[in-house]
């Protein structure tokens, strides 16, 4: 038993040294790693002093070595209690003064154990058994040690139950709870049994066994977080052991037969023996090793064959919905997943939203286009597994919590990014396997290939869809142009006292926005400008409806409220309140009284340059867009106009459109042009605004159609 204790304590000490070095080399700056190294160093004090005790049973320092063992024990258990507070690392950390408060009693006990005789007065071997003489304080020491270890275990279990983050629960389960149980075993065999039962045969084996358990739990976590579960590790080890055996056993037998001089082989030159060995090695490496490899990787080859077959099959599909559905379904079937879903960028909401799901629906898969998760995939075109999120602290320094929340809330294990050009068009999110086994390295390697092929297929489907949509838009624009050719005035009104200028910049084709004038006589003129969202025939029909309704308002043109109210009712009846977004501004200018009457329905306010104060006023009645509420109350504003005053109606896209540098044209730029050219005719001012806008926007396109109407009082 003494020899066994000596060997066990030595091996355990070596393993502890390796563990300490490993966690510090991994990341010595990490707080948890430092405290784990401290805990391991204290545990090393226990095992190494035990090793020295059994290696030098007749040493005069035997009592001192046992005292050092007692000191290391209390320091080790207090270190475990500290670790229960410092993990997990992303949670709020306990302050150092609190840690110091936990450790101070342990150091006091360690001092008493080493430098006084209150604990152990003497240690010696008798008939091969270690005998220790205890004093009264040893019971107090024992109680304090058990308080530390029980407090640590309770705190770990409390945090394990409390946390909802799966990756923290896994690490706590495989490392720290395992370590706590191991230390409990060590305390029973090295403290309880010798003190109360006088049984010291397992004095060293208990802590040694605890060390192996702690080390195994640590390495299980390492293997698990490296995407290889224990079965994978055993599988690979067995495979390579068999391959090595099959190759080297024939070589070994050949050498043995040569040494035995069987059949006179010893008479052959050595170079022929070497040649035979080389031939055997080549034959087994080329023909036998692949067969063994294929037997062990049967499932991998089957998975690879199924994925390759799917890639070829789906390559001819052009329907986006069908491709995404088939892709997700295939991954669930071949990998035996509990769930999987695909989130895709939505051009309307400008968010990444759930596109297809199989299994339990994820609770919150929506991601904003500028979220930290999407930005990471823009920079790193990699398949991302949850274990890497936890381990790779450099890539996820500031955003680790965002990723862990997304993975844990939606029960995601692996995310495969899908790209269209340089954009992240979607994320394919894979859940756990039915067996709860980890994704193996071979599977992730195949998923890398699968991801590139899926990106290509989905991107081709999107391109095909966009091409069809573009063709449809061009056809509808052509048809819309025919409709709209009769819906825009060919000439501007020409009255004494007021002159007009106007221009129209369509986003595509002839555009669909509508503007018009109405003249009930020589006493005044009414002008309307609209902004109609969308493209194509449906939106163009709004312009035709508005024109027809507007031309029937000639008798009530001076009441801007009634005109806008009528247009609102007409659109509501046509669309049943579910039409497109249509805004409008209508004003009537009375030439005799020089009074402007106006009503706004969601259009930008009129900019009115006042010649008397050399500045602008904004005219608005703050009405809602047309066609939503038949009883909407549209206000009516009035203001007097002086000769030289200039009024400008403009679509929102004029001021909000951006140039290639991302700058907007802006209201201040528009006002500046009007102010600088206030002495010119309104036709010249409108031409100047149009030229400035086109020069500013360059190769970019306006956000939508642009209508600008300018009047100037004379």
What does the pLDDT read at residue 335? 79
Query: Tell me: the pLDDT tens digits for 211-226?
Result: 656 655 655 554 444 4
Q: Name which residue leads in pLDDT, 344 or 159.
A: 344
Residue 337 CB partners (closer than 8 Å, separation 6+): 331, 359, 430, 431, 432, 433, 434
Q: Which residues of 402-441 are buried (b: 16+ CB within 10 A; e: fewer)?
A: bbbebbbebbbbbbbbbbbeeebbbbbbbbbeeeeebbbe
Question: Looking at the domain that runs over 301-464, which CATH code has it been given?
Answer: 3.30.450.40
Q: Name which residue leads in pLDDT, 578 or 493.
A: 493
Beta carbons of 558 and 491 less than 8 angstroms apart? no
- Report the candidate in 553, 648, 638 with the shortest Cα–Cα distance to residue 604: 648
**pLDDT tier, 639 (very low <50, low <70, confident <90, very high otherwise):** very high
**How is residue 624 annotated by DSSP?**
P
**pLDDT tier, 586 (very low <50, low <70, confident <90, very high otherwise):** very high
CA–CA distance, 458 with 328 (Å, rounded to integer): 12
Beta carbons of 634 and 565 less than 8 angstroms apart? yes
What does the pLDDT read at residue 666? 92
Across residues 230-235, what is the average pLDDT?
Answer: 48
Q: How is 87-106 classified by DSSP, letter by letter?
A: -STTSPPPPHHHHHHHHHHH
CA–CA distance, 329 with 358 (Å, rounded to integer): 7
Across residues 472-491, what is the average pLDDT?
Answer: 56
What does the pLDDT read at residue 700? 78
What does the pLDDT read at residue 386? 83
* Percent of the chain whose pLDDT exceeds 70: 74
Beta carbons of 649 and 682 less than 8 angstroms apart? no
Long-range contacts of 657-664 (CB under 8 A, 24+ apart): 657/693, 657/697, 657/700, 657/701, 657/702, 657/703, 657/706, 658/697, 658/700, 658/703, 659/696, 659/697, 659/698, 659/700, 660/698, 660/699, 660/700
**pLDDT tier, 20 (very low <50, low <70, confident <90, very high otherwise):** confident
**pLDDT tier, 167 (very low <50, low <70, confident <90, very high otherwise):** low
CA–CA distance, 274 with 278 (Å, rounded to integer): 6
Query: Tell me: the pLDDT tens digits for 318-366?
Result: 788 888 888 888 888 877 888 999 999 987 788 899 999 998 888 878 8
Q: How far is CA 198 from CA 92, 114, 129, 141, 434, in A?
A: 45, 22, 11, 17, 50
3 state DSSP class of 425: strand
Up-side HSE of residue 556: CA atoms within 13 Å toward CB? 13
Up-side HSE of residue 712: CA atoms within 13 Å toward CB? 18
Q: Name which residue leads in pLDDT, 612 or 150.
A: 612
Q: How is 286-340 classified by DSSP, letter by letter?
A: IIIHHHHHHHHTHHHHHHHHHHHHHHHHHTT---HHHHHHHHHHHHHHHHTBS-E
CATH superfamily of 487-713: PPM-type phosphatase domain (3.60.40.10)
Q: How far apart are the first and last CA of the chain?
A: 117
3 state DSSP class of 270: helix
Please list the residues that pair with 430 across neighbouring strands: 340, 414
Which single residue is written with the structure tokens 């037998």?
Answer: 253
What does the pLDDT read at residue 104? 94
What does the pLDDT read at residue 229? 44
In the chain, where are the structural domains located?
A: 2-225, 232-290, 301-464, 487-713
CA–CA distance, 634 with 233 (Å, rounded to integer): 75
Q: Name which residue leads in pLDDT, 236 or 359.
A: 359
What does the pLDDT read at residue 223? 42
What's the pTM?
0.40
Q: Is the pLDDT of residue 12 over 80?
A: no
Q: Is the pLDDT of residue 301 over 80?
A: no
Across residues 589-611, what is the average pLDDT?
Answer: 94
Residue 586 CB partners (closer than 8 Å, separation 6+): 526, 527, 528, 560, 563, 564, 567, 598, 599, 601
What does the pLDDT read at residue 472? 53
CA–CA distance, 658 with 696 (Å, rounded to integer): 9
CA–CA distance, 125 with 57 (Å, rounded to integer): 6
What does the pLDDT read at residue 201? 60
What does the pLDDT read at residue 661? 84
Q: Which of 68-77, 298-307, 507-516, 629-638 has the lowest mean pLDDT?
A: 298-307
Which single residue is written with the structure tokens 């200028």?
Answer: 501
Q: SS3 letters for 231-250?
A: HHHHHHHHHHHHHHHHHHHH
Q: Tell me how far apart the 2 most distant CA atoms of the chain are, in Å.
A: 133
Q: How far is CA 41 from CA 7, 24, 308, 564, in A?
A: 19, 12, 51, 84
Across residues 386-415, what is the average pLDDT?
Answer: 83
What is the token pair recorded at 495? 């009255």
What does the pLDDT read at residue 565? 92
Q: Is the pLDDT of residue 704 over 90?
A: no
Q: Which residues of 195-226 are buried (b: 16+ CB within 10 A; e: fewer)?
A: beeeebbbbbbbbbbbbebbbebbbbbbbbbe
What does the pLDDT read at residue 584? 93
Q: Strand 129-134 vs strand 340-346: parallel, antiparallel, or unpaired?
A: unpaired
Across residues 398-409, what is the average pLDDT?
Answer: 86
Q: How far is CA 402 from CA 362, 373, 376, 382, 397, in A?
A: 16, 7, 11, 18, 11
Query: Tell me: the pLDDT tens digits for 517-572?
Result: 998 877 899 999 988 875 544 566 777 778 888 888 888 888 999 999 999 988 88
Q: Name which residue leads in pLDDT, 551 or 195.
A: 551
Of 11-25, 329-343, 496-510, 598-612, where does the model show the most confidence?
A: 598-612
What does the pLDDT read at residue 536? 46
Across residues 132-157, what is the average pLDDT?
Answer: 83
- Report the candidate in 657, 649, 661 with the shortest Cα–Cα distance to residue 707: 649
H or E segment and range at residue 161: helix 137-162
Q: Which residues of 508-540 are buried (b: 16+ CB within 10 A; e: fewer)?
A: bbbbbbbbbbbeeeeebbbbbbbbbbebbeebb
**pLDDT tier, 642 (very low <50, low <70, confident <90, very high otherwise):** very high
The number of beta carbons lying within 10 Å of the beta carbon of residue 571 is 23
CA–CA distance, 392 with 385 (Å, rounded to integer): 11
What does the pLDDT read at residue 240? 56
Q: Is the pLDDT of residue 421 over 80?
A: no
Which single residue is written with the structure tokens 């502890």?
Answer: 16
**pLDDT tier, 227 (very low <50, low <70, confident <90, very high otherwise):** very low
What does the pLDDT read at residue 210? 64
Residue 88: asked if its preceding bond is cis (omega within 30°), the reply is yes
Beta carbons of 123 and 131 less than 8 angstroms apart? yes
Question: Looking at the domain that runs over 2-225, which CATH code has it been given?
Answer: 1.20.1070.10
What is the token pair recorded at 320? 């986006």
What does the pLDDT read at residue 488? 62
- Report the candidate in 446, 448, 447, 412 with the shortest Cα–Cα distance to residue 429: 412
The number of beta carbons lying within 10 Å of the beta carbon of residue 379 is 8
Q: Is the pLDDT of residue 600 over 90?
A: yes
């Amino acid at each position: 038993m003494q020899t066994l204790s000596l060997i066990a304590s030595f091996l355990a000490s070596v393993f502890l040294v390796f563990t300490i070095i490993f966690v510090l080399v991994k990341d010595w700056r990490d707080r948890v790693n430092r405290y784990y190294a401290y805990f391991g160093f204290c545990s090393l004090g226990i095992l190494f002093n035990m090793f020295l005790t059994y290696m030098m049973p007749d040493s005069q320092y035997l009592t001192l070595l046992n005292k050092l063992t007692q000191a290391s024990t209390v320091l080790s258990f207090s270190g475990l209690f500290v670790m229960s507070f410092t993990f997990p690392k992303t949670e709020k950390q306990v302050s150092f003064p609190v840690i110091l408060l936990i450790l101070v009693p342990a150091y006091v006990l360690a001092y008493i154990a080493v430098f006084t005789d209150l604990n152990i007065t003497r240690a010696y071997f008798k008939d091969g058994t270690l005998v220790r003489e205890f004093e009264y304080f040893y019971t107090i020491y024992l109680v304090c040690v058990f308080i530390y270890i029980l407090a640590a275990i309770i705190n770990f279990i409390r945090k394990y139950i409390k946390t909802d983050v799966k990756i923290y629960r896994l690490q706590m389960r495989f490392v720290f709870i395992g370590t706590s149980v191991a230390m409990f075993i060590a305390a029973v065999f090295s403290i309880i049994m010798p003190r109360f039962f006088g049984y010291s045969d397992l004095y060293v084996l208990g802590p040694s066994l605890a060390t192996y358990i702690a080390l195994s739990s640590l390495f299980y976590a390492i293997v698990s977080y490296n995407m290889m579960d224990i079965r994978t590790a055993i599988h690979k080890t067995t495979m390579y052991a068999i391959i090595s055996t099959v190759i080297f056993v024939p070589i070994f037998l050949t050498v043995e037969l040569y040494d035995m001089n069987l059949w006179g082989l010893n008479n052959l030159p050595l170079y022929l023996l070497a040649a035979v060995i080389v031939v055997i090695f080549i034959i087994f490496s080329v023909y036998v090793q692949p067969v063994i490899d294929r037997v062990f990787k049967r499932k991998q080859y089957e998975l690879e064959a199924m994925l390759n077959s799917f890639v070829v099959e789906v390559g001819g599909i052009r329907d986006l919905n069908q491709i995404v559905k088939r892709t997700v379904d295939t991954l669930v079937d071949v990998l035996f997943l509990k769930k999987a879903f695909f989130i895709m960028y939505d051009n309307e909401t400008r968010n990444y939203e759930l596109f297809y799901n199989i299994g339990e629906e994820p609770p919150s898969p929506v991601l904003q286009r500028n979220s930290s998760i999407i930005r990471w995939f823009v920079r790193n075109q990699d398949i991302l597994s949850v274990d890497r999120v936890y381990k790779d602290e450099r890539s996820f320094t500031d955003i680790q919590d965002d990723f862990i929340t997304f993975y844990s809330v939606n029960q995601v294990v692996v995310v495969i990014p899908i790209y269209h050009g340089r954009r992240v068009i979607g994320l394919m999110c894979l859940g756990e396997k039915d067996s709860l086994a980890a994704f193996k390295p071979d599977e992730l390697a195949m998923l890398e290939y699968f991801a590139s092929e899926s990106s290509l297929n989905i991107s081709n489907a999107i391109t095909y869809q966009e091409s069809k949509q573009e063709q449809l838009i061009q056809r509808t624009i052509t048809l819309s142009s025919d409709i709209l050719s009769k819906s825009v005035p060919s000439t501007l009104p020409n009255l004494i006292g007021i002159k007009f200028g106007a221009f129209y910049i369509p986003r595509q084709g002839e555009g669909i926005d509508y503007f018009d004038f109405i003249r009930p006589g020589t006493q005044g003129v009414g002008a309307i400008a609209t902004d109609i969202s969308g493209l194509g025939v449906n939106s163009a029909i709004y312009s035709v409806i508005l024109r027809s309704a507007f031309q029937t308002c000639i008798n009530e043109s001076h009441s801007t409220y009634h005109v806008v109210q009528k247009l609102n009712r007409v659109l509501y009846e046509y669309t049943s309140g579910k039409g497109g977004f249509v805004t409008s501004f209508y004003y009537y200018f009375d030439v005799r009284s020089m009074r402007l009457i106006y009503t706004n329905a969601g259009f930008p306010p009129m900019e009115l340059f006042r010649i008397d104060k050399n500045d602008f006023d904004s005219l608005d009645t703050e009405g809602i867009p047309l066609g939503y509420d038949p009883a909407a109350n549209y206000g009516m504003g009035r203001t007097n106009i002086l000769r030289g005053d200039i009024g400008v109606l403009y679509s929102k896209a004029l001021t909000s459109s951006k140039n290639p540098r991302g700058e907007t044209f802006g209201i201040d730029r528009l006002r500046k042009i009007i102010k600088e050219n206030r002495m010119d005719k309104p036709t010249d001012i409108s031409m100047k605004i149009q030229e400035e806008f086109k020069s500013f926007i360059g190769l970019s396109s306006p956000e939508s159609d642009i209508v600008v109407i300018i009047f100037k009082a004379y």
